Homo-oligomer: A and B are copies of this chain.
Amino acid sequence: MSNLVEMGKKAKEAAVVLATLSTPVKNKALLASADALMAAKEDILAKNKEDVDAALANGIKGAFIDRLTLTDARVADMADGLRQVAKLDDPVGEVLSMKKLDNGLVVGQKRVPMGVIGIIFEARPNVTADAFGLCLKAGSAVILRGGKEAFKTNHAVVNAIRAALKAEGLPEDAVQMVPDTSRETANEMMRLNGYLDVLIPRGGAGLINSVVQNSTVPVIQTGVGNCHVYVDESADFEKAAKIVINAKTQRPGVCNACESLLVHEKIAEDFLPAVGRALQEKKVEIRGDEATQKLVDGSIAATEEDWGTEYADYILSTRVVKDLDEAIAHIRKYSTGHSEAIVTENYTNAQRFLNEVDAAAVYVNASTRFTDGGQFGFGAEIGISTQKLHARGPMGLKELTTTKYIIYGDGQIRE
């Protein structure tokens, strides 16, 4: 029996216990885990320094090192994150509907824990604590496979939490980490049917695609966002400029940032030059179609590849379109189904965009940057689903649960 099957069995056993824990017991465990992270801070930071030094020695630099690096404040944030989850409503046990059938059977649909959740993620060690917290509150066990560069850090975090769970008299296998970060182990995790109820990849397009291609366990795809803002003929220019600049530059590295700007041809001459300059002042490179290149000095030509690219960087592809139909057709062709926005003062166009654009979140007159569990009021999120099954858009505690039918009878049989 492989390590992973053994881990799967332990996780299932833990999940049986977790499924029926009361809310106060789960909350106490979350607070104890937060305290344990703070108590283990020096150890976690020491292990993190080893990870960071090794990454630097391997020539890794820039934003990746920043994501990998923990500080006093970031460890405190991880602990605070667990305390926040303790404050959220417990999703387990809610009865979504209940009705009496003609034969007297009472059929209810009840929210219950998923069971065992697998999460495969990349550099950020804070995902370790976040994912544990959300899964525990949702009554499920979690098996984590983080990035290889953060392996020691993740281990230190998980060990602190497991010790806290044990001290609380709860199953420490509520959270487990795979024994190594090899590709073989990752592939084995993706095929752990019968033990994992769902697998959630968090990271770049490469990771997510690999999980979709290789997993036989049900997957929730997250995150890839080639998000568009379409500025309609009737747009309020001031709103439009603010929204485009915010969606592109407020945090370009995230999945709900705008990657592509579409502008109605009737307003392109009046709108694009100024907004182009404003974006360039914020170091955004404009890659445009021919019309855009004529209107925005310093813009370069967009290739076919640009229209489909999630830059996650200070780059914006820009195209002038004939009308709303052409904008919707362009979005239909290149969208990853994450977040799409129209800026318009026209009622019918707003409604058409909301109805006809097929994405997790569709906006009228607002920045795409709001697609986020925290912003939507979920309190926390495990990721943003870009698939249509089970959950679509930001996933909070409810999206980490499933349902079951409970049926109260009085001897009914089927005729």
Contact = CB atoms under 8 A, between A and B. Distances in A.
B407 A370 contact: yes
Given A242-B413, A405-B361, A411-B365, A216 B212 contact: yes
Contacts of A390: 389-390
A250 to B, nearest CB: 5
A393 B393 CA distance: 24
Interface of A: 16, 19-20, 99, 101, 105, 107, 112, 114-115, 193, 197-198, 212-213, 216, 218-220, 236, 238-239, 242-243, 245-247, 250, 332, 354-356, 358-367, 369-371, 375-377, 387-390, 392-393, 402-414
B388 A114 contact: yes
B414 A99 contact: no
6 contacts: A212-B216, A218-B389, A359-B404, A360-B404, A365-B408, A369-B414
Contact of A332 (B16, B105, B365, B388): B16
Contacts of A387: 197, 218
Contacts of A216: 212-213
Contact of A218 (B107, B197, B218, B403): B218
Contact of A411 (B218, B239, B393): B239
A366 to B, nearest CB: 3
Contacts of A376: 101, 107, 405
Given A193-B212, A363-B407, A412-B370, A112 B358 contact: yes
Nearest to A218: B389
B392 A404 contact: yes
Given A101-B375, A361-B407, 19 more contacts: A19-B355, A20-B356, A105-B370, A112-B358, A193-B212, A197-B387, A198-B389, A243-B413, A362-B404, A364-B407, A365-B409, A366-B409, A366-B411, A369-B414, A375-B414, A376-B405, A389-B402, A392-B405, A393-B403
A390 to B, nearest CB: 4
Number of copies: 2
Contacts of A242: 411, 413
B405 A246 contact: no
Contacts of A218: 218-219, 387-389
A411 B239 CA distance: 5
Contacts of A107: 376-377
A112 B388 CA distance: 10
Contacts of A369: 413-414
Nearest to A93: B355
A217 to B, nearest CB: 9
A405 B371 CA distance: 9
Given A362-B406, A388-B115, A377 B411 contact: no
